[in-house]
């Protein structure tokens, strides 16, 4: 039993570019009185945004994958690859729009937001995670 879901590129990039665009607009409006028309700030921000977009465009894809080894994902343009082996997971909290993985040794909580997935994919992913965490928690001899 395994599951691989491709997260649409626009869902992984839209929020970052929206926040960045609003930040460039706000800075250009605040500095308008000091530096004249905001066209310079906006055009510089748009060029920088285009550069960052083209650079990150070819840096990978966005996905979530759960198989017999563990779960891994890369959710958006600013995230790095996350991999959690099943034998490190102590507990999983199944919330409406996210999964929280509690790590055994440290008690650290690692969250995966399911908002980038369709409802069917999120439900199927939760079933796969439940299957593997149940398998590993019952087969772990140290769990007692």
Specify the pLDDT at position 82.
92
Average pLDDT estimate for 66-86: 88
Range with the lowest mean pLDDT among 31-35, 50-54, 58-62, 99-103?
A: 31-35
Based on the number of CB atoms within 10 Å of its own CB, is 107 exposed (0-12), middle (13-18) or buried (19 or more)?
exposed
Which tens digit of pLDDT belongs to each residue from 12-56?
Answer: 677 777 777 787 777 777 766 665 665 666 677 777 777 777 666
Predicted pLDDT of residue 54: 67
Report yes or no: 98 and 90 within 8 Å, Cβ to Cβ: no
Domain boundaries, the chain: 1-144
Reported pTM: 0.65
Contact 101, 109 (CB under 8 A): yes
* Confidence at residue 139, expressed as pLDDT on a 0 to 100 scale: 43
The CATH code of the domain at 1-144 is 2.30.29
Q: Residue 140 has what pLDDT? A: 42
For the chain, what is the largest distance between any 2 Cα atoms, rounded to a whole number of angstroms?
Answer: 70
pLDDT at 89: 93
């Amino acid at each position: 039993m395994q599951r691989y879901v491709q997260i649409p590129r626009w869902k992984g990039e839209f929020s970052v570019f929206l926040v960045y665009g609003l930040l460039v607009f706000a800075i250009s409006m605040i500095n308008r009185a000091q530096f004249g028309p905001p066209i310079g700030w906006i055009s510089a921000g748009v060029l920088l945004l285009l550069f960052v977009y083209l650079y990150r465009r070819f840096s990978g894809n966005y996905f979530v994958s759960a198989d017999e080894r563990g779960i891994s994902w890369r959710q958006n343009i600013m995230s790095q690859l996350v991999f959690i082996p099943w034998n490190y997971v102590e507990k999983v909290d199944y919330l409406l729009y996210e999964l929280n993985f509690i790590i055994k040794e440290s008690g650290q909580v690692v969250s995966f937001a399911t908002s980038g997935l369709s409802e069917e994919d999120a439900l199927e992913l939760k079933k796969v995670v439940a299957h593997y965490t149940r398998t590993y928690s019952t087969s772990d001899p140290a769990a007692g």
